[in-house]
Amino acid sequence: MESLYLATSLMMVDIPGPTLDAATRAHLERYRFGGVCLFRKNIQNPAQVRKLVADIRAVLGPQAWIAIDQEGGAVQRVLELAQAPAPMALGAIGDAKTAGAVGAAVGRTLISLGINWNFAPSVDVNTNPKNPVIGDRSFGSDPKKVARLALAWARGLEGAGVMATVKHFPGHGDTFLDSHLDLPVVNKTPEELERTELYPFRKTVEAQISAIMSAHIRFPALDKQYPATLSEKILTRFLRKKLGFKGIIVTDALDMKAITQHYPVGEAAVKSLQAGADLILSLGKPEVHIAQATAIQEALENGQLSREHAQKSQQRLKEAAQRFPGSPRNYSATQQKKDQTLMEQVALRSITPYRQPLRPRRSDRILLVSAGSTFEAGPYGETIAVQDFAELLKTRFARVSQFVYNPQKAEEFKGELEKAATQADYLLVVSVGRGSLSPQEAQLLKHAFSLGKRATHIALWNPYHILSLRKPAFVTYGFRAPTLKALVKVLGGAQARGRLPFKLR
């Protein structure tokens, strides 16, 4: 059993729901994993999360890690406390002190629930406007600015008692494939990687941030055969030895198709640990956890995986857990209110004007044009409720109506849009979704600007949509409540002070 528990101490798993049911409890008791990663499916309210976390630690021990992805913006699992704007919103402000304050507020939120490890921030330098998975999760397209803001955010988070994780090493910012769905390849020379992708990671090592997450991406300049997560050349020879990183290396989720389409689950788990990872993120049904635990145990027993390496990883995790104990800290109502105010102020400062957008007049009949009243996108089903924006808009403007089209059949809605626009004075053309706009959808939204009405584009979530339309716009970098409130204030006359944190092409 000793080799099994050594194996499982290097694994973090997910669980199916908001309570620890009997089957899940038995599974955790049997395998004693190193920790649990929480998702939106596990969260209902703060009291419930605190109980769930306490129940998990009662089974796995007080040293067990409870982790989450709380980046801000779209990638945010806890929505019941102060919601942070997206990293790119902080990029639009450009102030490291503000980034540090937001990171600290996120830390206070998480540690109040007993969550002591955050898989954030992303230091990916988003240089590809068609990147389907990073986008607003990046602080921008300038590596120096990304490093400055992201590391301030990480220091704020760690100062509040939650371990930060800089990701996705060696860099996910110049991909056009989503590694949840496929295996991206970044064909850049070592010199190009040094100038852009690797710069923030070198700064991360200098800053002694506690953890780095690997990317499921192939970088032929660094390893012709394996993606970074499975590459000894990248994780050990480059990150550990060349860059001198002494913290924890954690894999991105091994259930992503970039890995599962190319490697059996057990083999991937062993290969990532052989490559130099300290902890694998083993997500999926219990059968997946068991297959990976068994494969690691066998590799330890037959010598394929060095026991000494595994024990060193286990020790790193133990020492880090002592630095970031998971005991929930008090989060007073006064502090919660301050943090909520901070997020709203940051959201307001981030709203970015593009090409001198026109605001509606109080008396205008406003037509809000969008794809769906609710719109789901992203690997974990983040939902934009355009309806929520419409309701907020009505608190400031008396006459607001909606025109909803199907983005899959955008070309069929041209006539209906023309008809609806006859009853409006001002059009708010709202583009939603994480991915790029299809040519048909972009054409429909451009058509709205040719109908003789005053109009403004709202890039709600993907800021690069402005490149598809090239029309006057406000860029929000997201759709969470503080950002929607800020947008309504800006449409009502408040100054939009953000600056685009990426180069226009």
Q: Does residue 498 form part of some domain?
A: no
Q: Does residue 492 form part of some domain?
A: no
Residue pair 54/24 in contact (Cβ under 8 Å)? The answer is no
At 348, give phi and psi (nearest 5°). Answer: -65, -40
Q: What is the DSSP code string of 25-77?
A: HHHHHHH--SEEEE-GGG-S-HHHHHHHHHHHHHHH-TT-EEEE-EEETTEES
Q: Does residue 480 form part of some domain?
A: no
119 pLDDT band, cuts 50/70/90, is very high
**Residues 371, 306 share a domain:** no
- pLDDT at residue 379 tops 60: no
Q: Does residue 135 form part of some domain?
A: yes
258 pLDDT band, cuts 50/70/90, is confident
**Residues 156, 204 share a domain:** yes
Nearest to 272, CA basis, from 286, 178, 258: 258
Q: In angstroms, rounded to a whole number, what is the distance separating the alpha carbons of residues 346 and 348? A: 5
Catalytic residue among 55, 180, 182, 388: 180
pLDDT of residue 387: 85
Q: How confident is the prediction for the chain on average, in pLDDT?
A: 93
pLDDT of residue 457: 98
**Residues 195, 76 share a domain:** yes
SS3 (DSSP) at 249:
strand
Residue pair 221/189 in contact (Cβ under 8 Å)? The answer is yes
pLDDT of residue 180: 65
Q: In angstroms, rounded to a whole number, what is the distance separating the alpha carbons of residues 288 and 101? A: 39
pLDDT of residue 373: 53
Chain segment 418-460, per-residue pLDDT in tens: 999 999 999 999 998 888 899 999 999 999 999 999 999 999 9
Other beta carbons within 10 Å of 359: 15
Q: In angstroms, rounded to a whole number, what is the distance separating the alpha carbons of residues 135 and 382? A: 15
Q: Does residue 332 form part of some domain?
A: no
Residue pair 228/240 in contact (Cβ under 8 Å)? The answer is no
Chain segment 165-192, per-residue pLDDT in tens: 999 999 877 665 555 666 778 888 989 9
Chain segment 284-334, per-residue pLDDT in tens: 999 999 999 999 999 999 999 999 999 999 999 999 999 999 999 999 999
Chain segment 140-171, per-residue pLDDT in tens: 999 999 999 999 999 999 999 999 999 999 98
Residue pair 172/134 in contact (Cβ under 8 Å)? The answer is yes
Catalytic residue among 14, 136, 178, 252: 252
**Residues 242, 360 share a domain:** no
Chain segment 213-241, per-residue pLDDT in tens: 999 888 999 999 999 999 999 999 999 99
Sheet holding 399-405, edge to edge: 352-354, 473-475, 454-459, 426-431, 365-371, 399-405
Pick from 305, 323, 341: which residue ends a domain? 323
Q: Does residue 377 form part of some domain?
A: yes
**Residues 363, 309 share a domain:** no
Other beta carbons within 10 Å of 356: 8
Q: Does residue 306 form part of some domain?
A: yes
Rounded to 10 degrees, what is the CA torsion of 173, 176, 180, 182?
-130
- pLDDT at residue 71 tops 90: yes
Q: In angstroms, rounded to a whole number, what is the distance separating the alpha carbons of residues 419 and 438? A: 23
Q: What is the DSSP code string of 104-115?
A: HHHHHHHHTTT-
Residues facing residue 117 across a β-bridge: 67, 163
Q: Catalytic residue at 252?
A: yes
Q: In angstroms, rounded to a whole number, what is the distance separating the alpha carbons of residues 271 and 310? A: 13
**Residues 276, 404 share a domain:** no
The stretch 56-83 carries a mean pLDDT of 96
Q: Catalytic residue at 182?
A: no
Residues in the chain: 505
SS3 (DSSP) at 120:
coil
Rounded to 10 degrees, what is the CA torsion of 254, 256, 258, 264?
50
pLDDT of residue 130: 79
Q: Which residues contact 34 (CB under 8 A, 6 or more apart)?
A: 8, 9, 10, 11, 12, 60, 64, 65, 279, 317
The stretch 195-199 carries a mean pLDDT of 94
**Residues 230, 105 share a domain:** yes
pLDDT of residue 178: 57
Chain segment 12-32, per-residue pLDDT in tens: 999 999 999 999 999 999 999
- pLDDT at residue 378 tops 70: no
Hey, which bits of 206-247 come out as E strands? 211-214
pLDDT of residue 346: 98
**Residues 319, 361 share a domain:** no
**Residues 316, 434 share a domain:** no
Residue pair 58/92 in contact (Cβ under 8 Å)? The answer is no
pLDDT of residue 131: 67
- pLDDT at residue 360 tops 80: yes
- pLDDT at residue 207 tops 70: yes
- pLDDT at residue 269 tops 70: yes
Q: Percentage of residues in the chain with pLDDT exceeding 90?
A: 85
Largest Cα–Cα separation, the chain: 76
Q: What is the sign of the dihedral through the CA atoms of 103, 106, 110 and 112?
A: positive
Decide which of 127 and 499 is more confident. 499
Provide the b/e sequence for 378-415 (b: ≥16 CB within 10 Å): beeebebbbebbbebbeeebebbebbbbebeebeebee
**Residues 227, 308 share a domain:** yes
Q: In angstroms, rounded to a whole number, what is the distance separating the alpha carbons of residues 165 and 186? A: 22
135 pLDDT band, cuts 50/70/90, is confident
Q: Does residue 503 form part of some domain?
A: no
How many domains does the structure of the chain reveal? 2
**Residues 79, 228 share a domain:** yes
Other beta carbons within 10 Å of 505: 7
Rg (CA), the chain: 23
Question: By residue range, what is the domain housing residue 452?
Answer: 352-475
- Burial class (CB within 10 angstroms; exposed 0-12, middle 13-18, buried 19+) of 373: middle
Nearest to 204, CA basis, from 168, 173, 177, 228: 168
Nearest to 260, CA basis, from 283, 276, 236: 283
**Residues 405, 277 share a domain:** no
pLDDT of residue 171: 87
Residue pair 458/430 in contact (Cβ under 8 Å)? The answer is yes
What is the domain-level CATH number for residue 123?
3.20.20.300
Q: Which residues contact 11 (CB under 8 A, 6 or more apart)?
A: 31, 33, 34, 269, 279, 280, 282, 289, 292, 293, 296
